[in-house]
Structure 1
Amino acid sequence: MSNFHHDQAAGLRRIMAAPKPRVVSIISAASTQDQPRMMTNLAASIFGQGSNVLVVHASQDSREVKYGVDKSPSLFDVIIEMNSEVLSLSEAISSTSYGFNVGKLMQKNQFNLAMDSNECELTNQLLGELAHQYEIVLVDATLNKDQLLPLKILNNGEIIIQLTRQPESITNAYALIKQICSQLGRRSFGIIVDNATDAQAQIVFRNISQVARRFMQIELEFFGSIPCDDHLSRAAKLGRSVIDAFPLASASTAFKQIAQRLDYKQDSAAINHMASIN
């Protein structure tokens, strides 16, 4: 019962503190992780719960092909060409067979360019407008040369660190948290542990959260674990999400649970339901 009340209180705090618009940046601390596969399954799970989702590629790593946006203009391109009306926003946003939409923030060669203040503000406003059109925006993100996310709306939004049980990944996750806080000050972070059972993930989370609390006075929040499940690769080969192809797989259950925690509309409904029966 105590675990329920703890989870309920944490969920209510997230709902009350949820920034509007909803923008969630996920940064991987695992160098070998297939981030697009994780983002695709998570976005498909949120969409499956009835929420409109936009996935934005905002990474220095070349992952555009896996999102199918390698030949698409970026949101920054739209801003640059805004006066000439050569590009429209609709050209930068694509629909996917999974149900959600996808776009990219910048071309790879634009990521570390110094945007002038007007371009930066206009791009920030454009992403903000998109975030008002969707119930949740998931951002596949990496830090830029300034150890920040490339736009103010991303740095002010929610940030989740994805890591594995590997010592290198845990070290990288802690380093990311330190780097961001050195620029933005103390703030909270979410944690997703990949390739782990829930019990294994809880151990990883407990260890890193204790260190973060002790040395930086930072509170971390556990968003869930993703098990090692060959249904993920099998679904990817079929060009489908795991919840669509193999709805009873352990990975499908995990993604549904994380999706519910990320989607406050669903999280709020679940908390209200649980509260009504206790």
Structure 2
Amino acid sequence: MVDWHDDQAAGLRRLVKLQERRVIAVTSASPADSAAVVAAAALELTARGARVLVIDEHEGAQSIAAPLQCATRYDLLQAARRDVSISRAVVRVSNLLSLLPAARAASSLREADAGERAAVARCVEMAEQGAEFVLIRAAVDADGPSLLARAANRIVLAVQGHAAGLTDGYLLLKQVHAVIGHASYGVVLTRLRDGAARPALIANLQRVSGDRLDAMLADFGSLPVPRDGQPFAFTEAVAHGAAALADQLERVEASTPQRPPGGMRRLLARAGICGLMNSRSPLHGVAG
């Protein structure tokens, strides 16, 4: 006999899950490291049954297309300008994983007028429908993170696990924090030369970030990254690191229709075009 109460409860849980969306921006001083971290996280999350959209702000040789074993043709900016449909810009990597190239859009947004920003936001909104995770592989330039990355629920830094890497990671955090000013960030250590040194490296980075920037760094694990020029492979070691990383990403507070607007929507409001995005956008519900 069917228990309709149980069936309705299960349906409600599925509906709530679909309404939740975790938007995480990942950045690094090394594009190869951010590519490996995002690819590993996306593959692990989809293996767990989650629907994932990757928004890639890098292009050419630095694109994440090769690690995800796919090819790209169009950019989010072309969809925003209606040169192509958003469905043609989005690459379907697998049943649960999609990729939206956005390097040109991320660059253009800095100088875009209110109308073009709204068009980009609407395209992102369409692309991420049904996604439980939106992973933004963020590019950071002299002006800091892109407007898309600033709308994330959490920003995660991929930092190489050696002295020079920690210095680069701290400088990147300082640059990001100066623009965004979040109270907390995530950090993934990559290219560890000595696993035993990992706790001390994390503690050192956390201490310096707290003392100098008043910013907390949450430990999101570690991940091996291919040597420069070597292709990404989802090896057993990568899978182990990806599992720990995915555990942390699942704990990131999600955007839901009930949470107040923020992030990109707040930026759009300043431009006088609020109300153009609904509450399920990944650019909603986050502190700007």
Give yes or no for the alignment of 1:135 onto 2:132. yes
1:102-148 deviations in whole A, cap 9, x for unaligned?
11113389557621122113313432443442000111111134112
Within 5 Å, give how 1:138-157 maps onto structure 2: 138-151=135-148, 154-157=150-153
**AA at the equivalent of 1:48:** A
**Corresponding residue SS for 2:112:** coil
**Contact (CA 8 Å) 2:36, 2:225: kept in 1 or not?**
no
**Corresponding residue SS for 1:191:** strand
- What 5-or-longer segments of structure 2 have no aligned partner? 1-18, 253-288
- Quick one: distance in 1 between partners of 2:172 and 2:60? 16
Kindly tell me: are residues 126 and 21 of structure 1, through their superposed partners in 2, closer, same or farther at Cα, counting changes over 3 Å?
Answer: farther
Within 5 Å, give how 1:172-191 maps onto structure 2: 172-191=168-187
**Contact (CA 8 Å) 1:30, 1:169: kept in 2 or not?**
no
**AA at the equivalent of 2:51:** N
**Corresponding residue SS for 2:78:** helix
- Quick one: distance in 2 between partners of 1:63 and 1:138? 16
- What 5-or-longer segments of structure 1 have no aligned partner? 1-18, 243-248, 266-278
Within 5 Å, give how 1:72-111 maps onto structure 2: 72-81=73-82, 86-97=83-94, 99-107=96-104, 110-111=107-108
What corresponds to 1:24 in structure 2?
A: 24
**Contact (CA 8 Å) 1:53, 1:134: kept in 2 or not?**
yes
- Quick one: distance in 2 between partners of 1:69 and 1:116? 32
Task: Give me the TM-score of the superposition, normalised by structure 1.
Answer: 0.71
**Contact (CA 8 Å) 1:26, 1:161: kept in 2 or not?**
yes
What corresponds to 1:13 in structure 2?
A: none
Which has a greater percent of helix? 1
The structural deviation recorded for 1:251 is 2.5
Within 5 Å, give how 1:60-79 maps onto structure 2: 62-64=61-63, 65-66=65-66, 71-79=72-80
**AA at the equivalent of 1:119:** E
What corresponds to 2:223 in structure 1?
A: 226
- Quick one: distance in 2 between partners of 1:150 and 1:144? 12
The structural deviation recorded for 1:210 is 0.4
**Corresponding residue SS for 1:51:** coil
Kindly tell me: are residues 52 and 113 of structure 1, through their superposed partners in 2, closer, same or farther at Cα, counting changes over 3 Å?
Answer: same
- Quick one: distance in 1 between partners of 2:99 and 2:139? 17
What corresponds to 2:241 in structure 1?
A: 254
Kindly tell me: are residues 127 and 216 of structure 1, through their superposed partners in 2, closer, same or farther at Cα, counting changes over 3 Å?
Answer: same
The structural deviation recorded for 1:260 is 1.9
Task: Give me the TM-score of the superposition, normalised by structure 2.
Answer: 0.68
What corresponds to 1:202 in structure 2?
A: 199
RMSD over aligned CA atoms reads: 3.1
Kindly tell me: are residues 109 and 54 of structure 1, through their superposed partners in 2, closer, same or farther at Cα, counting changes over 3 Å?
Answer: closer
What corresponds to 1:160 in structure 2?
A: 156
**AA at the equivalent of 1:55:** V
1:218-240 deviations in whole A, cap 9, x for unaligned?
1110010124789xx6873xxxx
**AA at the equivalent of 2:42:** A
1:206-258 deviations in whole A, cap 9, x for unaligned?
1011011111211110010124789xx6873xxxx33xxxxxx2332221121
**Contact (CA 8 Å) 1:28, 1:161: kept in 2 or not?**
yes
Kindly tell me: are residues 20 and 62 of structure 1, through their superposed partners in 2, closer, same or farther at Cα, counting changes over 3 Å?
Answer: farther
**Corresponding residue SS for 1:115:** coil
**Contact (CA 8 Å) 2:90, 2:127: kept in 1 or not?**
no
Kindly tell me: are residues 183 and 228 of structure 1, through their superposed partners in 2, closer, same or farther at Cα, counting changes over 3 Å?
Answer: closer
What corresponds to 1:263 in structure 2?
A: 250
**Contact (CA 8 Å) 1:161, 1:192: kept in 2 or not?**
yes
Report the more deviating stretch, 162-171 or 194-203: 194-203
What corresponds to 1:4 in structure 2?
A: none
Give yes or no for the alignment of 1:44 onto 2:43. yes
- Quick one: distance in 2 between partners of 1:154 and 1:47? 24
